[in-house]
Chains A and B, each alone.
Chain A
Amino acid sequence: MAQQATILNVQRFTLHDGPGIRTEFFLKGCPLRCDWCGNPESFTRQPEVGVFANRCISSELCDDCKLVCHDLQMLIFTDSKLDSIDRKQCSSCLECAQVCPSEAIRPWGHSMTVDECMKVIIQDRGFYERSGGGVTVSGGEPLLQSDFVGQLFKACKQQGIHTCLESSLYANWNKIESLLPVTDLFISDLKLMDSQRHKQYTGVDNHKILENLITLSATNKPLILRIPVIPNINDDEDNIKASADFILQQMQGKVRTLQLLSFMRLGEEKYQSLGLPYKMQDLKFDRAAFQKKVEKIAVYFNQRGIHCMIGAKEKAEL
């Protein structure tokens, strides 16, 4: 049977996850629950429905979703506009998303085969070649569907297309190892050095991740490392210093670029629509002062001999 994956989204012409012009696949499902995550729709592995309330044209003009749902109570309307879906009751059959004419309800996640993905990939091949780009698989956590990623990357390599995996590396090493021959570039995160706090803010502890980073760096695979800099969570001196120590000592400095991604308040409405609490709700911080701090952190890393940049753009080797 053809390998399939649950894919949240395919984005063509992305420029921020790897060098050059890329096509990026966001795989659905993630074992981590980072408080600051901007894509909560990628948490669960199963497809579900996404609600874009302001697109609903009103239940006075349209009742297509209600006609297909087995339970009228499931779709919650306020002032005749769809407001949300009762997630506890919803069976995620996606029927309502199929029929909604205005795309107020859309499927989050659909399955795609390797061949289907390759069809999309090939369309932009010339752009990758000229810009030093290629394909990136991201998530969610793509290693949850590592067999599929392996197949997809193998197909890419057969076509001579550059491959990049963006992963938390929270997985057993053998999964990563199996992808080494077909992956040209890894992108991973160094979220928090303190294991306990890591668990507190992401739901899992960081042992496995750090071990994998060390093992990966020993293979000399090109690796871009990122720190999502979150105010009051990981922007303290201790954590920054520990991160630098780890990169230099444990990973022997084998990082192509260290990218600092400043926190942005993103995805709040998506949490709402999923009926999940947004943990960064109460975070208050001064954007300008924070930005200065991030700049200082970048200087610090560079002073310690780690090539560090703010932002996710990566220069292509042409």
Chain B
Amino acid sequence: MDNFSLDAEHLQVQGTQHHTLAKGLDDFDKVYGLGYEVGHEDWSPYPRVNYLRQTFLDRPYDIDVERLRLVTQSYQANEACPRIIQCARAFENILLNSTLHIYDQDLILGEIAAPAKASPIYPEFSVDWILDEIRNSPFEERSNDQFYIRNAQDRNEILALCEYWKGKSANEIITAHLDEDQKKGSHMGEKVFQTNNYHFAGIGHFAMDFTKLMTLGYDGVLQQAREAFAKLSKQDPDYSEKRDYYKATLISLEAAKTYIQRYATLAREMAKVESNIKRQHELQQMAQNCEQIAGGAAQSFWQALQLFNFAVTLTQIEGNGHSISYGRMDQWLFPFYEKDLEQNAVDKSFTLELLEVLYVKMNNPTKLKDKGTVKVRNGRGFGGESLTIGGVNSLGDDATNDLSMLMLEASVHTRMMNPWVCLRLHENTPYELKVKAIECVRAGYGHPKSFNDGPAIKAMISKGLSLEEARNYAVVGCVEPTLPGKEFGWLDAGYVNTAKMLEMVINGGRILAGPNAGKQLGPDTGSLESYKNFDEVLESVDKQFAYWCDQLCSCLNVTDKIHRQVKPTPYISAFFEGCIESGKDMTYGGVKYNGTAPQAAGIATCADSLSSIKELVFEQKKYSGKELLDAVKDNWQGHEKLYALVNSSKIPHYGNDNDEADQLFNFMFECYCRHIKGRRNARGGEFSPGVYTVNANVGMGLYTNASLDGRKNEEPISDNMGPVHTAGGSHDISGPTAIVNSVTKVDHSLATNGTLLNLRFPEDAVSGIEGRDILLSFVDEYIAKQGMHVQFNIMSSEKMRAAQKAPEKYADMLVRVAGYSAYFVELGKPLQDDLIHRTELRF
């Protein structure tokens, strides 16, 4: 790390040259130190933050029974109610009766109806896996993502309570509404696509309208709902549904107020018995904060953060969905910061400390997930809590302010999984902000990710938003651009394994190998034994994709409608434009913009497979189609020569700036986007394609037969927008500029739900002032070439191997996985190996 000596003088010069556009109150810091000098346990300059961080790390991942108990009681007591009222009553029961906790030294209050870092249970969505795993494969004994039930009594109570939900959870109702034809390609069948996410859990994936809450407060929103309710006419054919929606909204928002008031009372009580004067004062201040925001608007920066934390955790208590994102936080928070500074209410240092306390706090919510999900997607947090900074404002001018800078500093001072900081870049992003971001990247913990306003705004406009709205996008989850408070995008709706679709293309719509080998799954659109030219292969790809996208989207529409039936979310709906106005819950399509966004995985696997076919069968004519088909049927066994050849540079491969190979990638990318985009969904909106896998490429690979890119059965398929890496060799051998050129030959804005590019550099490559400038110019060029998203993993293979050997020494080593950072030692072995194998861009 000592390579990162900072040449302060040089920075000053650069700084003054470029610094003009900042809108902050102070000049930008000219000190770029980001904690390299402090010791390992002490990233933050604030002892309180280091303490809170450590207590978080030390806490166990428990399973907490309270939410399950309260929800079950309430559902049982309200069985005859309309469903939306039943949901609101359950939410109310939790908020009025769950145990509250205030932790030592904390400055921000509010958990998710469970102690910090303990996971509640959400029986509304699914219980059969909970019953099954407790009985047959205990959470405690998993190889990764373990959770701990505290004692036998809890265990028995969970089992008993879950029994009530059998046949009632969303999961079972969805399953009952899908027919065999829909199931055959889904996660319940051959896993051509996997829609598990919302089959088993809540939707999430949005950024609510924080400005509305901050400025109106709960009372203001309640007022709005009451007024709309008063206007509701009995002549409205949907009168009763709308009436129930409003009633549910009022119940939920009132409950939220009471809940916050309960925290105020608790803080007052604790202050009374607190002997430390400083802490007593803090408790009183927190009580006062809660008293103000229980109904009123936030009046200070601290209160804004406090209200924010309640707003988000209540969302998680109600909805269970992940990727509850924080919107453009430097923007919506800025007025509070500005006011506080003007009134000398706080200084910059305390502002930063509060932010860091909040950042640590953001890690508390955890979510128990089924073993199938954690196989595909590691991680015990909810995940996807993106915090967007930078970018342009609605007029197109740079929006950077002091908070943009402080939010990066808080990130490098805490270095935890959350929040997933996302930097919006554009051609006028101030140099200072970029330098600070690059310094964070070089620190190697995986944040922030960079997003490009150019293609992202273009993508937003193509979803039907106005230019002003589009410019206000925030990133949700890993890479999904979304309009806060106005868009319910149903992002991350399902993983599409394009490599499986290609299996149907080469084999007449039949399964290639394994126990069901030869079974007809898709339509017969030809096979390698029948194609006469390469165009026929591409036509067949198109037909298979059309068929499988129909299958996928019809499944997603079923799931969507069941969520509406069984789990509306009136509390969350109150913070989205259109719901209160129309009297419709967000699950009913009440929000202004509605999407459904499934994402493609394995595009490069398909592209390089097509390249093998094109090159060997139709151009060099060295092999027959049948020979290729046999090779993958046999998982390459007995075809070693061909295996070596397809993994060699003798076949054009995507990721090397080779036009021929890159065209095939473009074909696949465009084909997927075309088949998804524009389809109508169940909430009056449209489907929207994404091209990213996060880390699902590893799990999906486990179910994918050998492929013609030179991949063996069970190996990972290609990740995100990245090139192919097989055990036979990395297909990208021309360095990072070539990758960038290949990746940017496609129009990223076609993937309206985002693209994702991972690049890994070893630490020494980006060391020193030269390394910093190189990385900076590298990102600038990627942005200029209209790539949508890029993130870096600055971590050497040696270090990761060392961590595999001695996990205890590397407990808090974060690595960038894809879209997010995770604790390396908590990842499953296959994913660890995949990370190690991703080409390290050495030079």
**B-binding residues in A (CB < 8 A):** 11-16, 19-21, 55, 57-58, 61-62, 64, 101-103, 123-124, 126-127, 130-132, 313-316, 318
Partner pick for A316 among B642, B741, B773, CB 8 A cutoff:
B773
CB under 8 Å from chain A, chain B span 522-541: none
Contacts A57-B641, A57-B644 known; A131 to B774 CB distance under 8 Å?
yes
Chain B residues near A55: list those with CB within 8 A. 644
Q: List 24 A-B contacts (CB under 8 A).
A: A11-B843, A13-B736, A13-B737, A15-B765, A15-B771, A15-B774, A19-B770, A20-B773, A20-B777, A21-B777, A55-B644, A64-B641, A101-B642, A102-B641, A102-B648, A123-B738, A126-B784, A127-B777, A130-B784, A132-B777, A315-B769, A315-B773, A316-B773, A318-B773
Partner of B737, one of A12, A102, A316: A12
* Chain B residue with Cβ nearest A315: B770
Distance in angstroms between the alpha carbons of A64 and B768 in the assembled complex = 48
A318 neighbours in B (Cβ, 8 Å) = 14, 773
Known A-B contacts A13-B737, A15-B770, A315-B769; A131 and B645 likewise in contact (beta carbons under 8 Å): no
Asked whether B735 lies within 8 Å of A13 as measured between CB atoms, the reply is: yes
Determine the distance from Cα of A16 to Cα of B841 in the docked complex, in whole angstroms: 14
Please count how many residues in chain B sit with their CB below 8 Å of the partner chain's CB atoms: 31
- Chain B residues close to A by CB (< 8 Å): 14, 640-642, 644-645, 648-650, 657, 734-738, 741, 765, 768-771, 773-774, 777-778, 780-781, 784-785, 841, 843
A309 to chain B, nearest CB (A): 10
A101–B770 touching, CB < 8 Å: no
B736 touches A131 (CB 8 A): no
Q: Which residues of B contact A313 (CB under 8 A)?
A: 768, 770-771
CB neighbours of B778 from chain A (8 A): 21, 127, 130-131
In whole angstroms, how far apart are the Cα atoms of A16 and B642 in the complex? 37
Specify which chain B residues have a CB less than 8 angstroms from the CB of A13 in the assembled complex.
Answer: 735-738, 841, 843
Which residues in B have their C-beta under 8 angstroms from that of A58? 640
Contact B644 A127 (CB under 8 A): no
Question: Chain A CB within 10 Å — which of B650, B736, B768, B777 has the most?
Answer: B777
Taking A62-B641, A131-B777 as known contacts, 15 extra A-B pairs with beta carbons closer than 8 A to each other, sorted by chain A number, are A11-B735, A12-B738, A13-B736, A16-B843, A19-B770, A21-B778, A57-B644, A101-B644, A102-B645, A103-B644, A103-B648, A127-B737, A127-B777, A130-B780, A315-B770
Contact of B770 among A11, A124, A127, A314 (CB under 8 A): A314
Q: Evaluate contact between B641 and A101: CB separation under 8 angstroms.
A: yes
| Secondary structure type dominating chain A contacts | loop
Give the residue name and chain of the B residue nearest to A318 (CB).
B773
Report, nearest first, the 5 A-B pairs whose CB atoms are least far apart: A102-B644, A130-B777, A131-B777, A101-B645, A13-B735
* Nearest CB in chain A to that of B739: its residue: A13
Looking at the assembled complex, report how far the CB atom of B655 sits from the nearest CB atom of chain A, in whole angstroms.
12
Question: Do A21 and B642 touch across chains, with their CB atoms under 8 A apart?
Answer: no
Cβ–Cβ < 8 Å partners of A127 in chain B: 737, 777-778, 781
Residues of A within 8 Å of B644, CB to CB, are 55, 57, 62, 101-103
Q: Contacting B781 at CB < 8 Å: which of A11, A14, A16, A130?
A: A130
**In whole angstroms, what is the CA distance A20 to B645 when docked?**
35
User: With the chains together, A130 CA to B785 CA distance in Å?
Assistant: 12
Q: Shortest beta-carbon distance, A183 to chain B, in Å?
A: 22
Closest to B657 in A: A123
Q: What is the CA–CA distance of A130 and B738 in the complex, to the nearest angstrom?
A: 16
B843–A14 touching, CB < 8 Å:
yes
Asked if B641 contacts A124 (CB within 8 A), the reply is no
CA distance A313 to B785 in the complex (A): 26
Q: How far is the CB of A211 from chain B (nearest CB, A)?
A: 32
* Given known A-B contacts A12-B737, A126-B785, A127-B781, A101 and B774 have beta carbons under 8 A apart: no
Expressed in whole angstroms, the minimum distance between the Cβ of B839 and any Cβ of chain A is 12
* Residues of B close to A103: CB separation below 8 A: 644, 648-650
CB distance from B233 to the nearest CB of A (A): 61
Q: How far apart are the CA atoms of A304 and B777 in the complex, in Å?
A: 34
CA distance A132 to B773 in the complex (A): 9
